[in-house]
Amino acid sequence: MGKPIVSRVRRHLFASVFESRRSAEEKAADIKGGYFLLYPAYKKARGPRFGHFQLSVAMQISLSTPPADAVDTVVGVLAAWQSDATIHNLHPGDIGWHLRDGPDKTASCLRCWSTEDGTILAIGLLDLKNLLRVTTAPSARHDESLAEAMAADITDPAKGVLPEGDISVDIAPDALLHEKLVGSEGWTEGKEWVWLRRDGITGTPVNTNIELSFQIVTTEEQISQRVQIQKLAFPTSTFSVEKWHTMASTAAYKTARCLLAYKTDVSTEPIPVGVTTVWSAGPGRPGLLEPLGVSAVHQGHGIGKALTYAAAEHLHKMGASSAMVATPRDNHAAVRTYQSTGFVEIRATRDLTRRN
């Protein structure tokens, strides 16, 4: 009889956190020869049986849904994978934004694929009930055993990754999993997404036809304004002051900031008109803008452009190597806004969809 699922998950996550804390130099040294060292500190604590394994050798892969108290660890592992050299379809900020609904609900939307020894090799997030956004550790992106295990789990509703009916998967096109799904019966390309990136901050701020100022959200008044603009920019949003506090209390938000754009005029009090949240994955790693919106009555004045520039600038000050954003290809206004502020398209992807 196997160990309880929560026990296995915690063992996997405990081991994975050691790997996430290793320096880039340590990882590079191990990967150079085709090997990947399993969390040295954990190995030392548990004995010599925890050694090296070669990714080309078949591995036993297990699927799990982490408990709520392990979400922060999953975010930390995902953050350690981020780099400008490898573009991921999932960022710690994506999970951070989900945490507005609380750790319990967010945990129920996460899927982790791990080795028997406990290293997390892939993380998936159910962005919608039938849409899985997933990425892998850079060293495992082309691993045969992992890709086969993930494809089997994703396509079988009994595994609990995706439900029956129409389903979609957002995965990097250069990942072996993408190839496995495309080669399976019934899978077709769906919605197209554009990934854009701005490296550093150069040039001058965006000019607008109104005066603007930007502030980091800290006070209760600003929190209320942040929620108000979110709803004005996205009419179907369920965001609330309570959800903001829930999100802000998590470890993921410790390296994030909400920015408010104010329309300033000498004759009136500053009026909040736009908002974004910027998520850092740590110094030297790409940051994410998610979400970004301008109240409907103030659109068309360049506020979105100025806010995008301010967000990228803020990430740069936080030590991010670059600022990244993803948007549907058919959202032409958003694509133009990002490009006008120095963001460059680095990749286009399409969801893989299977219809029942």
Same fold, 61-193 and 199-348: yes
Give the C-alpha separation, 62 to 70, whole Å: 17
Give the C-alpha separation, 313 to 23, whole Å: 26
Query: 111 has which bridge partners?
Result: 124
CATH number of 61-193: 3.40.630
- Our CA angle for 31, 34, 35, nearest 5°, is 65
For the entire predicted model, the pTM comes to: 0.84
pLDDT in tens, the chain (356 residues): 443 333 334 444 444 443 444 444 444 433 333 323 333 333 333 322 222 333 445 679 999 999 999 999 999 999 999 999 999 999 999 999 999 999 999 999 999 999 998 899 999 999 999 999 999 999 999 999 999 999 999 999 999 999 999 999 999 999 999 999 998 889 999 999 999 999 976 555 667 778 999 999 999 999 999 999 999 999 999 999 999 999 999 999 999 999 999 999 767 889 999 999 999 999 999 999 999 999 999 999 999 999 999 999 999 999 999 999 999 999 999 999 999 999 999 999 999 999 98
Write down the domain spans for the chain.
61-193, 199-348
Q: Which pLDDT score, from 0 to 100, does residue 265 have?
A: 79
The answer regarding whether domain 199-348 maps to CATH 3.40.50.300 reads no
Q: Which residues contact 115 (CB under 8 A, 6 or more apart)?
A: 38, 53, 59, 60, 61, 62, 121
Q: Decide if 135 contacts 81 (C-beta within 8 A).
A: yes
